[in-house]
Structure 1
């Protein structure tokens, strides 16, 4: 029996996909506000790709124009 919890494809209300959500949560991020100023730095995380970065950037801009 696995103890891993399926964290789903949504990170802080943004649908970025399961791999990206899992990678961000494993790295200790829980909200968009927790993310580093340079989102491109997240590309180093396995599972986070350019599309996830774009969606997170758009969400960040909506929250803090």
Structure 2
């Protein structure tokens, strides 16, 4: 085994958004697009690592998978 601290949840959005934003989602126990859809865009923007660029990437990925943020 090469990765001693391997966690499959770390793969969520791995090639979509940067590590700080992914870690923030992990702290909130958001590890799937389904869970992400339970939050509003405004709520996610308040997390560490989320800015305009990250949000654009995230929303594009969500749209491709037909998943959307809840209405505020």
* Range into which the TM-score falls when normalised by the shorter chain: 0.5 to 0.7
- Structure 2, unaligned stretches of length 5 or more? 68-72
1:37 shift after superposition = 4.6
Which has more strand, going by share of residues? 1
**Large movers: runs of 4+ above 6 Å:** none
TM-score (norm 2): 0.63
SS state of the match for residue 43, structure 2?
helix
TM-score (norm 1): 0.68
Compute the RMSD of aligned alpha carbons. Answer: 2.6
Higher relative contact order (CA 8 A, sep 6+): 2
Partner of 2:16: 15
Larger gyration radius, structure 1 or structure 2: 2
Would the alpha carbon gap of residues 50 and 39 (structure 1) be closer, same or farther in structure 2, given more than 3 Å must change? same
- Structure 1, unaligned stretches of length 5 or more? none
